[in-house]
Amino acid sequence: AGSFSRSAVNHESGAKTGLSGIIMGIIICSALLFMTPLFTDIPQCALAAIVISAVTGLVDYEEAIFLWGIDKKDFFLWAMTFTTTLTFGIEIGVLVGVGFSLAFVIHESANPHIAVLGRLPGTTVYRNTLQYPEAYTYNGIVVVRVDAPIYFANISYIKDRLREYELKLPNSNRGPDVGRVYFVILEMSPVTYIDSSAVQALKDLHQEYKARDIQIAIANPNRQVHLLLSRAGIIDMIGAGWCFVRVHDAVQVCLQHVRSSSSNAIKLSPQASGNLTESPKAQQRYGFLRNLWKAQDGNGSAGDEAQSLLRQNLV
């Protein structure tokens, strides 16, 4: 009886297994015949899942967040390179990233940082007035620092900024109120290089300033730049007495000229064109700056006052 019952159970389980196999076979045959189009994208999806799983660990999200907080331009470059690489491939992504990097470099080089310097209270140190609001400037004197090499790509931008400083006077609060710019001091310590196009542009700028009775002074050029300016004749053109070791020396000499011109009662009007308007009494004699120009041009009729001040490079 026991053997018979075990045989019946085995027979029943075998029948169930056979029936399950038949059903699975029918399902598989039906899938192969009718459902194959639903599975055509499975290999690509599996491969994409593998690639995404591998690449996810390569994306530095913390670096992206850091770039967003530090410099939006660098974040934009990162996002553009990442998107292009993910969409079009590594080669195109790298080319796009390099291209945008070069474009940013060219833009920064053609539009260098230019700062108006002021004197820190209690010192002879001159710093950017935007960075140090307590720094003060002198009426009639503009101290400009160009934080880049000067060459053909940025000289037009620099000249435009210098003209802008002449027309829109900085907020000066020291010295006589002369109403216009008499002196432009170029702090050239950050200038590591200057090319021939920039040299010619500086000559043109000097002639423009001279026509409006404005004197250029150069402070602290490095050896290479100073030799180039000397060979180009710019030092002789503006006057060797207007090349200084320190900005403070240049400011003090220019300030003496401003005070002297103010004491000579030259009437000035703050016109946008920068032209000089003199009183009838002042028109009967040469103004102080005109005597100064004559002294630089080698005219012996210049006054002793202009000659003595030209020789004072240390105050």
Of residues 276 and 180, more confidently modeled: 180
Task: Supply the mean pLDDT for the chain.
Answer: 78
Q: Which two tokens stand for residue 173?
A: 């609060």
Cβ pair 136, 173 in contact under 8 A: yes
Of residues 185 and 307, more confidently modeled: 185
| pLDDT tier at 226, thresholds 50, 70, 90 | very high
Of residues 249 and 5, more confidently modeled: 249
- Could you read off the pLDDT of 192-207 as tens digits, one per residue? 999 998 999 999 999 9
Q: Residue 269: its pLDDT value, please?
A: 35
Cβ pair 186, 150 in contact under 8 A: no
Strand runs (DSSP E) across 58-154, as ranges?
A: 114-119, 126-128, 141-146
Q: Residue 45: its pLDDT value, please?
A: 80
Q: Residue 12: its pLDDT value, please?
A: 61
Q: Residue 248: its pLDDT value, please?
A: 95
Average confidence (pLDDT) over 72-95: 88
Average confidence (pLDDT) over 118-140: 92
Q: Residue 10: its pLDDT value, please?
A: 59
- Residue 240 is classified by DSSP as G
Q: Exposed (0-12), middle (13-18) or buried (19+): which is 285, by Cβ within 10 Å? A: exposed
| pLDDT tier at 178, thresholds 50, 70, 90 | confident
Amino acid type, 307:
Q
pTM: 0.65
Q: Residue 311: its pLDDT value, please?
A: 42
Please say if the pLDDT value at position 289 is more than 50: no
* Closest by CA position to 172, among listed 246, 118, 113, 250: 118
Q: Which two tokens stand for residue 83?
A: 């998107």
- Could you read off the pLDDT of 46-60 as tens digits, one per residue? 888 887 777 777 777
Please say if the pLDDT value at position 44 is more than 90: no
Please say if the pLDDT value at position 4 is more than 60: no
Q: Residue 282: its pLDDT value, please?
A: 34
Write the CA distances from 219 to 187, 188, 193, 235, 243, integer angstroms.
Answer: 5, 6, 15, 12, 6
Please say if the pLDDT value at position 148 is more than 70: yes
Domain 114-262: homologous superfamily in CATH: STAS domain (3.30.750.24)
Of residues 260 and 143, more confidently modeled: 143
Residue ranges of domains in the chain? 57-110, 114-262
Cβ pair 247, 313 in contact under 8 A: no
